[in-house]
Amino acid sequence: MQFLAAIAAGGAIGSVLRYLLSGRIMAMVSNGFPYGTLIVNILGGFAMGVIAEYLGRHYPEQNMLRLFLTTGILGGFTTFSAFSLETMVLLEKGELLLASFYIIASVVISVAALAGGVFIIRSFT
């Protein structure tokens, strides 16, 4: 039951952080393209790489902390369901090129960011 509480608490924190950061980004760049979600997903991918690799190497027994940070905070922070909805909105607007860019950038750059986080931790350990 403690694991579920850790995930729920982390999810609440991550969701609020996503809302605040994404909203701030969208207020700065309001041209209809979902930059807020894209940047949140890239940052979340990078953070997942750093945290998962670091905890796995240095604190493999810290399951509660791992679940709180990865499944909880980062699970609430990243927004693949929002990504899917925003992609559909772009497609419905007839923005095939923008939707294609958004899909490729979200997936490829987010995975690359995660790999970058893993690389950084592996470089220092």
Identify the band that residue 32 occupies on the pLDDT scale cut at 50, 70 and 90.
Answer: confident
32: alpha, beta or left? (left if phi > 0; alpha if psi -120 to 50): left
Whether pTM > 0.75 for this model: the answer is yes
Number of domains in the chain: 1
Identify the band that residue 65 occupies on the pLDDT scale cut at 50, 70 and 90.
Answer: very high
Alpha-carbon distance values, 9 to 5, 75, 90, 99 (Å): 6, 11, 33, 33
Mean per-residue pLDDT for 5-27?
96
Interatomic CA distance for residues 91 and 20, integer angstroms: 26
Tell me: pLDDT of 33 over 80: yes
CA atoms 9, 39, 81, 23: torsion sign: positive
Alpha-carbon distance values, 80 to 5, 14, 74 (Å): 23, 13, 11
Domain membership of residue 44 as a residue range: 2-124
With H, G, I as helix, E, B as strand and everything else as coil, classify residue 59: coil
Contact 48, 117 (CB under 8 A): yes
Contact 37, 107 (CB under 8 A): no
